[in-house]
Chain A
């Protein structure tokens, strides 16, 4: 029986592999009606947030039958991503959307694409210089700040905070930290414990356990992402203290942060928008010859128990 399961699995894998190889060709030939081809270069599909970004791009593009999007995943490899962009240029796509892994090494291929007359939308992370058509991204620092201010208000300006940082060697981690610290400045909020949890839920749980054993009084946990906040909640729950602590996270993906808010696990989750929908909308404008702004900072929403079912509340 085990053998048959295994052989079925192998067969399925083989069929899938073949199908995967054939896909771009058949899609192209089967849809002559598609007017425009967009190349979407994603740096890493290992993170749910980036999976969401691709999903947003796909969903937005499906609303426009004239668009055909080719997705490439660089699997966290700068050189691979560079090759992907060059392939797009060679294939002469009509527009490139790139969410680059790193700024410096991915600037030359983007510049080359621009020289070849292909407009480029840069998503989330930047490239060096101004040789791109449009940058769309959110501002981690502003989101951190907003979270800080919101927390000050929520706690009435007083309380003890545990900050579970993403990774202080990464820009989002630094910005979510410094923004938050600016946001709570002037209040009586004290950060009593702050450590890196490397964006990972199991780590967040371990660190929170340490915080719990050290401090008997914790008002709120501010985690740099929702899984981090969720891990902290699990730790508090195991210690029977989850009712006395508030949990705030960032990202607000529908299946993570928003769902946790709905379940009453998180008090609030701050959206870090993927910009997938906006990329397609602005891309369409570019392709239609409309003028658009070069820098688009995405607005962000906060989801709380009251607002989560209404699609959150826009931050100012």
Chain B
């Protein structure tokens, strides 16, 4: 097995096991032992997880993407506008939204790859810009099935079927469609990162950009690819978010970038780039998801929740380093 994979994976598993142990202890009168609790958690973490997929590639290539939450919001609004207000069929609305997300990612990636803007700055700019764009095209209001008529009255249009289909649970309500989409995203990233030349290039660039460049690797194209894919995953997440909420909220995804980064880092992917993997991100998503779920089923208050989350994130990261 690949040596970079073996140890971090085991450690990420251990961190997850630790959180699960918490769940066994604080099981909220047995609620933790019901399958529904787990299935709900998988649904709830899926949108964050999809964002973390793109984030993993960006971090591996040695960057960071602060724009994911905002691009998610923009995509949710755009998808709702197209599917509800414009009445576009899904086969048009979905590709259009995906394209918009990818364009946002490519724009940030272009700044980084071609004009050598720091990833932090370029994606921070995208974070602000995309949020503004989301508010602008939505007029600051949620785009739902309730539509204001010219005379100021409101009317209700039916929810497009695609929202119900994407927001539903399958297998007798045991598995959310968005969770399936999350798992597919993980698979796609796994193929890119481990099976394709592109992935190797990303690791090499994150590990030593100059060495990668001198080895003839198209560094700027790979960066464009990573940020573009991140934007694409944001759009996927935005569509999932809209489908679940039955509306496009221009405020959707605020501060999601932090959760996405936390998922990647808790998994064990190095923020310095060049090390990590998508399997780790899956474990990171489960760790964060279970942590939130355990706090939630025990109805822990907000203040205590924030403090506990902080402590446990640090604990998990320290735990992963303990081996040395």
- Do A and B touch (CB < 8 Å)? yes
22 A-B pairs with C-beta separation under 8 A: A45-B140, A193-B299, A195-B301, A196-B302, A198-B302, A201-B249, A205-B244, A209-B37, A210-B297, A210-B299, A213-B36, A213-B40, A214-B297, A234-B167, A238-B43, A239-B173, A254-B148, A255-B141, A255-B142, A256-B144, A256-B146, A259-B146
Q: How far is the CB of A48 from chain B (nearest CB, A)?
A: 6
Q: Does B251 contact A (CB under 8 A)?
A: yes
* Residues in chain B near residue A213, CB distance under 8 A: 31, 34, 36-37, 40, 297
* B25 interface residue (CB < 8 Å to A): no
Within 8 A of B (CB), among A177-218: 193-196, 198, 201-202, 205-207, 209-210, 212-214
- In the complex, the answer to whether A234 meets B244 with C-beta atoms within 8 Å is yes
Q: Is the CB of A258 closer than 8 A to any CB of chain B?
A: yes
Whether B200 is near chain A, meaning CB under 8 Å from some CB there, is no
A-B contact count (CB 8 A): 106
* Interface mask (A72-83 → B, CB under 8 Å = 1, otherwise 0): 000000000000
Whether A206 and B154, one on each chain, are in contact in the complex, defined by CB atoms closer than 8 angstroms, is no
Residues of A238-257 contacting chain B, CB below 8 A: 238-240, 254-256
Q: Are A256 and B142 in contact (CB under 8 A)?
A: yes
Contact residues in A for B301 (Cβ distance below 8 Å): 168, 195-196
Say yes or no: is B28 at the interface (Cβ < 8 Å to chain A): yes
Contacts of A234 in B (CB 8 A): 167, 244-246
Beyond the given pairs A234-B246, A259-B156, 4 more chain A to chain B contacts, judged by CB atoms under 8 angstroms and listed by A's residue number, are A46-B251, A196-B302, A206-B44, A209-B37
Chain B's closest residue to A231 (CB) is B245
Residue in contact with A255 in the complex, picked from B99, B135, B154, B303, CB distance below 8 Å: B154
Chain A positions within 8 Å of B107 at CB level:
6
Given A201-B245, A213-B36, A259-B146: A195 and B296 interface contact (C-beta under 8 Å): yes
Contact flags (1/0) for B107-133 with A, using CB distance below 8 Å?
100000000000000000000000000
Q: What's the nearest-Cβ distance from chain B to residue A265, in Å?
A: 10
Q: Does B310 contact A (CB under 8 A)?
A: no
Chain B interface bracket (under 10, 10 to 19, 20 to 34, 35 or more): 35 or more
B 267-311 to A, binary, CB cutoff 8 A, 1 in contact else 0: 000000000000000000000000011001101111101000000
Secondary structure type dominating chain A contacts: helix
CB distance from B147 to the nearest CB of A (A): 8
Instruction: Please give, as numbers and ranges, the residues of chain B lying within 8 Å of A48 by CB-CB distance.
Output: 140-142
B70 within 8 A of A: no
Chain A residue with Cβ nearest B256: A202
* Residues of chain B lying within 8 A (CB to CB) of residue A263: 156
For the complex, what is the distance from the CA of A238 to the CA of B36, rounded to whole Å? 10
How far apart are B19's CB and chain A's nearest CB, in angstroms? 16
Judge whether A255 and B245 touch: CB under 8 Å.
Answer: no
Interfacial chain A residues near B75, Cβ < 8 Å:
none
A209 touches which one: B40, B148, B156 (CB < 8 A)? Answer: B40
Task: Name the interface residues of B39-58: CB closer than 8 Å to any CB of A.
Answer: 40, 43-44, 47
Task: Say whether A202 contacts B241, CB under 8 Å.
Answer: yes
Please give me the residue from chain B that is nearest to A238 by CB atom: B169
Q: Does B216 interact with chain A (Cβ within 8 Å)?
A: no
In the bound assembly, the distance between CA atoms of A294 and B134 in angstroms comes to: 39
* Chain B contacts for A196, CB-based, 8 A: 301-302, 305
Is B296 in contact with A259, judged by CB distance below 8 angstroms? no
| Distance of A195 Cα from B305 Cα, bound (Å) | 11
Task: Give complex CA distance A269, B241 in Å.
Answer: 24
**CB contact under 8 A between A238 and B44, given known A45-B140, A198-B302, A210-B37:** no
Using CB atoms, name the residue of chain A closest to B33. Answer: A213
In the bound assembly, the distance between CA atoms of A284 and B43 in angstroms comes to: 52
Q: Is residue B103 within 8 Å, beta carbon to beta carbon, of the partner chain?
A: yes
Please give me the residue from chain B that is nearest to A162 by CB atom: B299
Quote the shortest CB–CB distance from A75 to chain B (angstroms).
Answer: 10
Q: A205-B244, A214-B28, A214-B29 are in contact. Are A255 and B148 (CB under 8 A)?
A: yes
Residue contact A51 to B140, C-beta cutoff 8 Å? yes
**A167 within 8 Å of B by Cβ?**
yes
A169 at interface by CB-CB < 8 Å: yes
Measured CB to CB, the nearest residue on chain A to B250 is A46
Q: In the complex, which residue of chain B has the Cβ closest to the Cβ of A259?
A: B146
From residue A282, how far is it (CB to closest CB) to chain B in Å? 22
Set A167, A201, A239, A262: member contacting B302, Cβ < 8 A: A167
- In the bound complex, residues from chain A placing their C-beta under 8 Å from that of B47 are 202
